[in-house]
């Protein structure tokens, strides 16, 4: 599988997974590879950046959500965030 991203005109990636993507491989890629790929993105863009996910089940694993919330200041968009926002309306 290949992962890549686009933020404010920057192409982030690509990252190739060597095996099936599971909780551990996804967490490892966001922990070890995403920060390296974001080094070329200017700081003002990184500060305003949100992480949008496609709602794959592995992204809802507690350890993954905790890591993303801590390291990206809860600036993520996924099914959980959309459902919580909808329920508060």
d(CA 29, CA 51): 14
- In tens, the pLDDT along 10-23 reads 888 788 888 888 89
Nearest to 31 by CA among 70, 62, 4, 5: 70
User: Residue 61's pLDDT is what?
Assistant: 84
Here the tokens at position 31 are 């922990």
Q: Taking a C-beta distance cutoff of 8 angstroms, is the pair 26, 3 a contact?
A: no
Half-sphere exposure of 40 (CA within 13 A, CB side): 10
The domain of 43 spans 2-88
pLDDT digits (tens, 9 = 90+) for 32-84: 988 888 888 999 988 888 877 777 777 778 898 888 888 877 677 665 555 45
User: How many domains is the chain built from?
Assistant: 1
pLDDT value of residue 32: 92
Question: Partners of 86 in the beta sheet?
Answer: none
Whether the pTM exceeds 0.75: the reply is no
The four Cα atoms 25, 30, 35, 41 give a dihedral, to 10 degrees, of 120
Task: Return d(Cα 35, Cα 18) in angstroms, integer.
Answer: 19
């Amino acid at each position: 599988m290949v992962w890549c991203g686009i933020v404010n005109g920057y192409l982030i990636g690509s990252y190739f997974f060597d095996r099936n993507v599971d909780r551990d491989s996804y967490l490892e890629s966001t922990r070890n590879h995403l920060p390296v790929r974001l080094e070329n993105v200017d700081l003002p863009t990184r500060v305003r950046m949100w992480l949008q996910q496609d709602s794959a089940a592995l992204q809802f694993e507690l350890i993954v959500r905790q890591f993303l919330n801590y390291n990206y200041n809860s600036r993520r968009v996924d099914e959980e965030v959309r459902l919580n926002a909808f329920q508060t309306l």
